[in-house]
Amino acid sequence: MSEPVIVFENVGKSYPQYHQITGGLKNFLFHLPSALKSFKQLRYESLRDINFQMAKGESLGIVGRNGAGKSTTLGLIAGVLQPTVGRVLVRERVSPMLELGAGFCTDLSGRDNIMLNGILMGMTRMEVQKKVDEIIEFAELGEFINQPIRIYSSGMLARLGFSVVSSLEPEILLIDEILAVGDIDFTKKCQERMMRFKKQGVTIVLVSHVMQDIVNICDRVLWIENHTAKCIGPAEEVVQKYKDS
Ligand SMILES: Nc1ncnc2c1ncn2[C@@H]1O[C@H](COP(=O)(O)OP(=O)(O)O)[C@@H](O)[C@H]1O
Ligand SMILES: [Mg+2]
């Protein structure tokens, strides 16, 4: 295997846990030092002990129940989250399509958001300009492209988001549950485009609850359960195990 483009080594992510003051405020204040200490020590583990590597051009699916830690994993690859423990290494440019509308400015029009995102991804104005028509055509938003995106539905945001990230020559493409919100026609276009990327050697990480998409697009699958890797292996095999569970 050539040098991996994504490496996760013993990766964990936790957040401070906020909880209610039991026993009343007076009691809490009376034992302030020890109470504060226990406050600080309590952490909520979103992800723990994740290890995997991805070669260039490989596609990895991530499956698991709601709250398992899938989006957290994508956030760590995108660099919008930092691991609390372990190491995350990413060697290529990441084009994330994380949550709907992330990286978009709600007061700007769809068209202006295309420009904004292109520039955020490190392209020049000229480079983005050349792609704008193609992106708008793919998104099929009609006149809405000139409206502020705060009035878009979630499906329309998904159209814009996917069109943008997938048109700006991604090296590593991260897709979080996007295929679920679009209508049938758009979902089909997304699937086709992802298949094309796969053939072109783009590295893809796809989070989806649609197992058929995972099997069609991904070589391997990481199944996250209770915030840690239950298993990782060939797509069909892992999806079957996940379904059986
Ligand atoms: N900023 C945060 N602060 C505290 N907990 C968080 C934060 N972000 C996510 N979590 C928790 O981490 C867990 C994993 O979340 P996530 O990765 O979004 O799950 P999934 O995408 O698999 O549904 C969830 O239980 C969620 O509540
Ligand atoms: Mg998620």
pLDDT tens sequence across 76-108: 998 989 999 999 999 988 887 766 556 788 899
Closest-CA residue, ligand 1 atom 1, reads 15
The alpha carbon of 66 and the centre of ligand 1 are apart by a number of angstroms equal to 9
**Ion ligand 2 nearby residues (CB, 5 A):** 70-71
- Reported as a pLDDT band with limits 50, 70 and 90, residue 21 is low
Q: What average pLDDT does range 213-234 have in this prediction?
A: 97
The pLDDT of residue 110: 93
Closest-CA residue, ligand 1 atom 20, reads 67
The alpha carbon of 189 and the centre of ligand 2 are apart by a number of angstroms equal to 22
Give the nearest ligand 1 atom to 224 CA.
22
State pLDDT tens for residues 45-56. 999 999 999 999
Give the nearest ligand 1 atom to 66 CA.
23
Q: Is the pLDDT of residue 203 over 70?
A: yes
Whole-number Å distance between alpha carbons of 189 and 65: 26
Q: Is the pLDDT of residue 117 over 60?
A: yes
Q: Is the pLDDT of residue 183 over 80?
A: yes
Q: Which protein residues are within 6 Å of ligand 1, measured from CB?
A: 15, 44, 46, 64, 66-72
Whole-number Å distance between alpha carbons of 57 and 89: 16
The pLDDT of residue 101: 55
The pLDDT of residue 99: 63
Task: Name the residue of 17, 62, 72 whose CB sits within 8 Å of the most ligand 1 atoms, as the mutation to test its pocket.
Answer: 72
Tell me how far CA of residue 228 lies from CA of 51, 63, 77, 206, 237, in angstroms: 10, 12, 16, 17, 18
- Reported as a pLDDT band with limits 50, 70 and 90, residue 19 is low
Tokens representing 94 are 């990441």
Q: Is the pLDDT of residue 13 over 60?
A: yes
The pLDDT of residue 70: 95
Give the nearest ligand 1 atom to 68 CA.
22
In sequence order, what DSSP letters do the residues of 197-212 get, joined into one string? Answer: HHHHT-EEEEE-S-HH
The alpha carbon of 159 and the centre of ligand 1 are apart by a number of angstroms equal to 24
Give the nearest ligand 1 atom to 177 CA.
21
Fold that domain 6-244 belongs to in CATH: Rossmann fold (3.40.50)
Whole-number Å distance between alpha carbons of 76 and 84: 10
Highest mean pLDDT, choosing among 14-28, 40-54, 127-141, 230-244? 230-244
Give the nearest ligand 1 atom to 207 CA.
21
Q: What average pLDDT does range 194-216 have in this prediction?
A: 94
For residues 224 and 101, the model is more confident at 224
The pLDDT of residue 2: 76
Contact 84, 12 (CB under 8 A): yes
For residues 146 and 101, the model is more confident at 146
* Average pLDDT score, the chain: 89
What size, in residues, is the chain?
A: 245
